[in-house]
A and B are shown apart, each in its own frame.
Chain A
Amino acid sequence: MEGLTLSDAEQKYYSDLFSYCDIESTKKVASNGRVVELFRAAQLPNEVVLQIMELCGATRLGYFGRSQFYIALKLVAVAQSGLPLRVESINTVKDLPLPRFGASKNEQESRHTTSYSSDTENQGSYSGVIPPPPGRVQVKKGSVSHDAVQPRTSTDQQESTSPVVSPQQSPPTSPHTWRKHNRHPSGGNNERSLAGPGPFWSPFSEAQTGSSAGDAVWSGHSPPPPQENWVSFADTPPTSTLLAMHPASVQDQTTVRTVASATTANEIRRQSSSYDDPWKITDEQRQYYVNQFKTIQPDLNGFIPGSAAKEFFTKSKLPILELSHIWELSDFDKDGALTLDEFCAAFHLVVARKNGYDLPEKLPESLMPKLIDLEDSADVGDQSGEVGYSGSPAEAPPSKSPSMPSLNQTWPELNQSSEDTAIVHPVPIRMTPSKIHMQEMELKRTGSDHTNPTSPLLVKPSDLSEENKINSSVKFVSGNTVADGYSSSDSFTSDPEQIGNAVTRQRSHSGTSPDNTAPPPPPPRPHPSHSRSSSLDMNRTFPVTTELCPLKSETVHFWLCISRTSKNKLHTGQQQAGVVAHPPAVPPRPQPSQVPGPHVHRPVDAEGLITHTSTSPQQIPEQPNFADFSQFEVFAASNVNEEPDDEAEKHPEVLQVEKSSDPSGSLRVAKTDGRIEEKTAASAPANVGKSTTPLAPPPKPIRRRLKSEDELRPEVDEHSQKTGVLAAVLSSQPSIPRSVGKDKKAIQASIRRNKETNTVLARLNSELQQQLKDVLEERISLEVQLEQLRPFSHL
């Protein structure tokens, strides 16, 4: 060829381009993908490109030497300027603009390409090849890196799709096809479109035939030209032959591809410009993968079984060996099933492979499933990758067991459970009658008059009383109870749904009617002086009069609900605490005995509750003020009181103590205890540990108080703040006098107090819940880490 004189700008530009294409640094650019792409990016008709190649001598030589390359570039500029291609024009045409290449393999090209790319279907000088999808060209920039499969695919996608997308593209299809074939010598499918992985499953078959033919002819080229696929400049010699096939195959491919990925491809291209991370999944791709996942497994958190995945990926027409390898890479936990992340990684690898990228030996980090959404996910990924890769040592690379994926899902639950142990919450004591109470409460809430004979409350006063007793005993269970009680109430008020009878609960405290003796008295606080308990001035709240029985029952019911729900939530560990704190004594019953019940529930101050409950039926109205610890004290003081109230109160205490069954003992204690016990046993497994068996009834209240104090103390420390708040709230409430006399006023006052207490407790509860969640999360993360580490420590 004639000597080529280049201006400085041209020189530099060409040099850059040559360097870009000269991936092997041999100073001799073979007709590899880059060159092909580059020329394709020039958006010149294929014929022109061919002509250029011939002119520059590449056809002759079979490769692009630097001079040939420069000449070719010059000719491209000439062609782009609309001038006829002549050898002489190389030097004769002055002031030629630098050749512009649509596909942005490089930044260099991108500079030019951007202008072109997008949108227009290459009309103008670029006629054509480039993909109509607007994004394509731009994508080029990103896709330059060969590693960026995505760009490639997207480009391809764009190309392929373009023909389908717009009629304008049809002309370009041939170049497209050409390109496509050229580009990808890699085995198999020309489907370069990594970008459009999904839609092309079916097209694969068609495309395959076409492309394979093309490829076969074409092959010779450097393997997976990572880049720009779409630009693949047909390698000179084979191009012509390929061209013939290309149009057919390409069109097949293109049509096929189009499907969904057109747009995605564009975007993917655009976004995939991560040279350093060729395996990164772009958003579009990810979305596509997720959609495909959904077609197999609607639940995004579920697994795709191995057989289904095998079928799906077999459609890609990759050899089984490669699919097997892809599976090995992507099945992170080696459980034979694919989670969403694993599936995306596998899909991505398949797409990459189809586009000619070699499969990595190790799962790239960006493809590793995020087992833990914590900071150590990277570590996990690395380890997992290593493990998965090496196979053996990883006895369970990040937990081979399927539990790994489930860990993510179970974290919340685990968190909660662990939280339970760590945090004192009112352990809901499940009391069998609680259901009844719930109903009653609901009925009450729903407006059924407590006096209504049909009201469940009235129907089962005995049950309520029992529940009350149980609740109260529960309250005494452990220190947690204090907190639990609070939280229960808080939760109760704040999260009515949790408890189930949201409406009822809320209503219970609303004291809509005098009968609503406030929420069941909070679990008996161990000691009024107890920090926690003091926050809830249970004593004050407890002097509920018997008249408030109906309310009491409600409140008790309320507490039961709370306890139950909280118990459910805080299943492990803390149950004791939680339960105890649970719904204060049974809603006030008409019977005096019921009075103590609701109070008892409050774990806050078991004794207080007890005392409170035992105070007298008069206290029922005050029961809503379960937080009134003074009640507990009163109760404790009235231990000896043989009143049925005491019994009722004692029940909670007894219950608290745990399934202590100290049925004997004082009358009331025995009776209540027995009942409480059975209730507690049924309801609060947690209570077991905490509460001591209230053996001697008379001393029980005292004992329990002490015990609960101790128990509460640690928890109190944790929740001192909360309790402080509660205490403040409660303390503000006037102690409820035991006198039965001031029913109305007392009731209303107690209702008020109870309401306040409820809100405070609800707040506390929510805070505790949050703490629980946090701790559980931590625990889960630690467990995951442990599992990951475990395999290594094995061998």
Chain B
Amino acid sequence: MDSLMERAAPCPAAQAGSVLLPALHLPLLPPHLYRPATSHEHKLNFRKSKEACLTYIQDAMLQKQWKRAAEFLTFYIESLEKDFSTEYMGPSEMIWRIGTEILCHHSYSSMKDFNSFIEQMKTLGVKRYLKVCLEHAFHLLCNGQTDEAYQNLSLAESWRFGEQTTAQDKELKLIQAYRGLLDYYSWSKQKNVLLEYGTKGTSKVQSTNDKEGFEDLSVEQEMHSSFRKAAVNLKEIIQIPGVWDVFVKCYVDFLKRHGEPKKSLISVLKILHDIVPSHELMIDFNTMLQKSKKRKKRRLGLEVIFAALDYAGWKENVKAWSCLARQVKQIIISEKHLDWIKQEWNSRKDWWPAFHFSRYLAKRNWQENESLAYEKALVAGILLGKDCKYFKYVSHQGCKDQKKRLRTLKKFVNKHSPVYLRISGLSDSSVQT
């Protein structure tokens, strides 16, 4: 209230009368905002009171004042007895989320408190039941209580509640996925135990201890059952559109270690390729496919690696480029299946040059990573011809620096330069090399 806002003394007649100024008529403004609100409301009802309470809780939480937040939460809790079902996020959900935050951060709260709190939250809203279970499981996992988490997830998985089961389908899938993950985890642990045990066992003198053998067997049985459970789960899960990175990786790893036939691995990775072409496993996938004897597989491999390199994330990845280079080279040398390259290149020839093979990139790649430049140059030389900017720059630089392998590269490309012509469709007839 500084006297900064000075107003000249008005004369009475000039004062606006008691007639209310016309309201604002902004089309999107809700009606109750047309006139400015009075600054201090003296009325109060249940709803407003709880809204105010909520703002205090939020303020306290933002400032990490957990005691204060807990204090105001105690006053908010009675709104459970008056659950406005029309609101987007009702009191029970609010209390669940706020309570979780407070219990996580408050110094005096224990896991026991948290668990009993969550159990109560589960009873509050059937529409949220699975979500609460899932988050509870996460929390337990974060606190290292894997077994409890597993129990919770299993329990939740078997929950059925009429319509709600289908309504909460997404959460159910997640629950299954995580349970599968935990199965994988326990399988992994058990396998490690066995391996360790196995090494110990062989180094010992052959004392056929029945007990040891029995233990060995039971662990192995457990392991197999975990595997089966996990496999079923994960296989089902990754069919569903969505980002299942963690799960897929585990699953693949799982299958590899379990010694599953390549076939199942490949089928899984194919699914992944369809969903997430830029996935990091694609590099391994391509390697795997290249080795295959089947033509279809190798064709797929080429497709996979090209698709991966469509994404900016792999632009500077040496391994990716080396895979592509290797496969391209191999195809050229064999002089078979040039049409594969042509097919892949067709949709890319308009934009890959600018995307991967500009002069600027050539310079930069050479400066930063010669291996990268090398691999790229090979590909560029084949796809765009030896006169393309990228190849010219790199080979020039390389020869200047007297890099042996670049001389080899230059030779190779020169040797196979007509290939470029064939690929780009400029000439259909095969040219004598």
B and A form one assembly: no
